Amino acid sequence: MSSIGFYLGLVFSGIIIKNVLLSQFLGICPFLGVSKKTSSAVGMGLAVTFVLVLASIISFAFYYLVLVPFQLEFLRTIAFIIIIATIVQLIEVLLKKYMVNLYKSLGVYLPLITTNCAVLGIAILNINNGYDLLGTIVYALGSGLGFLLVILLFSAIREKLELHDIPKALKGLPIALITAAFMSLAFIGFGGIL
């Protein structure tokens, strides 16, 4: 299980084949909400990737070092959501103090990440799929980059859509959802590679 090929496959499947947004439907709210402009999409994507990796590592450690020895596995959901909320809060405080510029550019998106299903979803999937620590990090990183890639592509398409003549009834979200459908279809095409 612990060969290099396995980890490479994990990254690849996280980014493209089992994309968090287009095939697992995790993190759809920010996907539809924060994808009107490319710049905000990049900010959101980077913030999500960062929190995703950090939260996955800490929840992994907490699960195997605290919950499993005390046989408290059923508290997983509660423990993970508290860990994620704490991490987001901590990052916000640290950024505010030490990296003011980054804080200003990410500021709005950080608190939103607590309720992003992608973060909790990947933390739970890591445990469900039985990955080891390296697998957890690699899978979280792949999923985060997949999120970044798709939200960036999607926001670029939406910027173009603004300029086109779309039937009145489809303007805004309906056409965005239909666009996402075609993107998802294209990503399914990669499924045969692995």
- Tally DSSP H helices, then E strands, for the chain: 9, 0
Question: What tokens were used for 37?
Answer: 């402009």
**In this chain, which of 27, 45, 144, 146 binds other proteins, going by CB under 8 A?**
27
- Applying CB under 8 A, does 93 fall inside the site for other proteins? no
| 3-state SS assignment for residue 99 | coil
Chosen residue from 8, 72, 99, 170 binding other proteins by CB under 8 A: 170
Using rule CB under 8 A, residue 58 touches other proteins: no
Decide whether 8 or 64 has the Cβ nearer to other proteins: 64
Give the x/- contact pattern for other proteins in 101-140, rule: CB under 8 A. Answer: -------------xxxx--xx--xx--x------------
68 is an interface residue for other proteins by CB under 8 A: no
State in angstroms the smallest separation of the CB of 50 from other proteins.
18
Smallest distance, other proteins to C-beta of residue 101, A: 27
* Residue 93: φ, ψ to 5°: -65, -45
Q: Is 130 left (phi over 0), alpha (psi -120 to 50) or beta?
A: left
Distances (CA, A) of 128 to 57, 61, 72, 73: 14, 14, 15, 12
